[in-house]
Amino acid sequence: MTPPETDLIGTNAIGDESPAVLACRKLTTLTQRRDFQRAARGKRVAMPGFVLQMLRRPDSSDDSIRIGYTCSKKVGNAVARNRAKRRLREVARAKLPTLGKNGHDYVLIGRNKTTAGLPFDQLLVDMEKALSILHVSRK
């Protein structure tokens, strides 16, 4: 027999799933090289801690947000690259579900020394700023 509190985990008072659960569900990770190459042909913005690339998928039959992470050997050894990618994953997890647009691919590229060295709050602010720059419609 389960306690009654466990039945309410992941739901709000109305009975729908919480926004955090919904947000985590629609982020998927890019794994194919061709998806990274397509995103490289889209819009980009360079911030002090990272470079963000964005491409709207023309065949977006699903409403998911896809995200990819990359750090070259210029970032450092394997430990430094993995640390930088962990920080980029957390930034994306925190900001993309609310500020990202469905049907878009995003690629976060780590920068040498700054991705791992900047304060995390600064990375979050940079992510908000980068997304606002990329989502401005230019006519």
Tens-digit pLDDT profile for residues 101-126: 888 999 999 999 899 999 999 999 99
Residue with tokens 């962990």: 86
Tens-digit pLDDT profile for residues 6-36: 444 544 444 444 555 444 447 899 999 999 9
pLDDT at 86 over 70: yes
Hey, CA dihedral for 112, 47, 102, 22, is it positive or negative? positive
Contact 45, 57 (CB under 8 A): no
Average pLDDT estimate for 63-69: 90
Contacts of 90 (CB under 8 A, 6+ apart): 120
Domains and their CATH numbers in the chain: 27-134 (3.30.230.10)
Lowest mean pLDDT of 12-16, 25-29, 59-63, 72-76, name the range: 12-16
Q: Is 132 helix (H, G, I), strand (E, B) or coil?
A: helix
Beta bridge partners of 46: 51
Distances (CA, A) of 20 to 41, 73, 83, 114, 134: 31, 34, 24, 29, 24
Distance in angstroms between the alpha carbons of the first and the last residue of the chain: 60
Mean pLDDT of the chain: 83
Question: Please, what is the Cα angle at 94 between 117 and 76, to 5 degrees?
Answer: 30
